[in-house]
Amino acid sequence: MTTPESPTPTTQANAARFREVYTRIKDELGRLIVGQSEVIDGVLAAFFSGGHVLLEGVPGLGKTMLVRALADAVNLKFSRIQFTPDLMPADIIGTDLIFEDESGRKTFRFRPGPVFAHLLLADEINRATPKTQSALLEAMQEKHVTVGGQAHPIAEPFMVLATQNPLEMEGTYPLPEAQLDRFMLKIKVPYPTAEELHLIMDRTTGESEPVLTPVVNSVEDVLALRRVVREIVVAREVRARAIDLVLRTHPDHPQSTADAKRFVRYGPSPRGVQAMLLAAKVAALLDSRYHVAAEDIDRVALPALRHRILLNFEGEAEGKSTGEIITGALHKAGYDS
């Protein structure tokens, strides 16, 4: 077995190719998106890990533009769903329709919905009712949808990039916990600085906007780059660090923090550990390493776990955030975060 200290020439070449493509994609996105470097890094980490992303921010911060730009940069099939209160599950996954042939015989045929794409933008996902939001659950986890008892597979790569407005805004519904858990990362989109606003105005109120050049040539290229991420090694002690961090946010665990015991109803599922390890593998690759380090885990803890912690009534009444719970768990364990 190849050790992290002695990667094969093939592994080195694949890693170099990954860094090259990653950098080119980020540069292309930077031609259209001003600032938001951490947001772009999070989206690309999930894209190359095979995960889904939830982007949260007030309207007008470029969340939809970022997703469209990514689709252009990676040259994959793109689909967009505008979530509204009257949207139905069939509007997302598709439905069986009755067709009549020349002899008058009637048959059912499946008409695919917009979910059948490589990159699916679920725009303002929390504008739709929980029933409609849940229509994405099977697709996000199983990579297929079931209509009329028949399973219809979704071609790989498949990634859902959902945008949502803060839940306190009018006309929004909280996402079901089961669906939140399907998102690998939840990334908060910050408001731009004054200097960034100047650049945004220059690009959006001038004569023309930048046109992005595709970086990836085919689906096979994307799948190959995803395999490179999976090849990065995670030592048992580093994996234990991620597991320990998750357990410290569970209120019933012996080593949990005081805030977790008092304010948390449920802690993250095992998917939280999976999300941290995969995002950390991308961070290691970008740092020219072939193994995950402890600091990689700490760096991705917030976006990987913040949406997987459910506060109890006291936590909500006290105005606690899940980010505070995670930061407290990092500090209690003696981690640098």
CA distance 241 to 220: 34
| Residue carrying structure tokens 């941290």 | 276
Q: Report the range of poorest mean pLDDT among 106-110, 224-228, 239-243.
A: 106-110
The domain boundary, picked from 231, 250, 265, lies at 231
Same domain, 64 and 195: yes
State the CATH number of the domain containing residue 265: 1.10.8.80
CA distance 47 to 154: 16
Q: Does 100 map to a domain?
A: no
**Residue 337 — very low, low, confident or very high, per pLDDT cuts 50/70/90?**
very low
> Contact, 91 vs 84, CB < 8 A?
no
Predicted pLDDT at 245: 92
Predicted pLDDT at 336: 46
Predicted pLDDT at 270: 92
pLDDT beyond 50 at 1: no
Same domain, 256 and 207: no
Same domain, 63 and 146: yes
Q: Does 4 map to a domain?
A: yes
Predicted pLDDT at 168: 62
Q: What is the pLDDT of residues 228-278, one digit of tens each?
A: 999 899 999 999 999 999 999 999 988 888 888 999 998 899 999 999 999
**Residue 334 — very low, low, confident or very high, per pLDDT cuts 50/70/90?**
low
Same domain, 142 and 239: no
Predicted pLDDT at 268: 92
Q: Would you state the structure tokens that stand for residue 323, as one six-digit string?
A: 């980010």
Same domain, 295 and 325: yes
Record the pTM: 0.86
Tell me what the pLDDT averaged over the chain comes to: 85
Residue 40 pairs in a beta bridge with none
Q: List Cβ neighbours of 92 (8 Å cut-off, separation of 6 or more).
A: 81, 113, 114, 115, 132, 135, 136
Predicted pLDDT at 304: 94
CA distance 99 to 106: 5
Q: How large is the average pLDDT for residues 197-219?
A: 78
Same domain, 217 and 258: no
The domain boundary, picked from 212, 231, 250, lies at 231
Nearest to 48 by CA among 28, 66, 65, 25: 25
Same domain, 185 and 238: no
Characterize 289-320 residue by residue with b for buried, 16 or more Cβ atoms within 10 angstroms of its Cβ, and e for exposed: bbbbbebbbbbbbbbbbbbbbebeeebeeeeb
Predicted pLDDT at 240: 92
Q: Does 106 map to a domain?
A: no
pLDDT beyond 60 at 3: no
* Domain of 25, in residue numbers: 1-84+115-231
Predicted pLDDT at 105: 78
Q: Report the range of poorest mean pLDDT among 7-11, 111-115, 294-298.
A: 7-11
Q: Does 198 map to a domain?
A: yes
Same domain, 188 and 283: no
Same domain, 259 and 220: no
Count CA atoms closer than 13 A to 224's CA, side-chain side.
15
> Contact, 55 vs 39, CB < 8 A?
yes
Q: Does 97 map to a domain?
A: no
- Sequence length of the chain is 337
| Structural domain total, the chain | 2
pLDDT beyond 90 at 193: no
Q: Does 90 map to a domain?
A: no
Q: Report the range of poorest mean pLDDT among 50-54, 118-122, 162-166, 233-237.
A: 162-166
Q: What is the pLDDT of residues 21-75, one digit of tens each?
A: 999 999 888 888 877 888 899 999 999 999 999 998 877 777 788 888 888 888 8
**Residue 167 — very low, low, confident or very high, per pLDDT cuts 50/70/90?**
low
**Residue 170 — very low, low, confident or very high, per pLDDT cuts 50/70/90?**
low
Same domain, 187 and 287: no
Same domain, 192 and 278: no
The domain boundary, picked from 231, 265, 282, lies at 231
Q: Does 104 map to a domain?
A: no
| Residue carrying structure tokens 């995969």 | 278
Same domain, 273 and 337: yes
Q: What is the pLDDT of residues 140-152, one digit of tens each?
A: 888 888 877 788 8
Tell me the percentage of the chain whose pLDDT exceeds 70. Answer: 94
Q: Does 105 map to a domain?
A: no
State the CATH number of the domain containing residue 15: 3.40.50.300
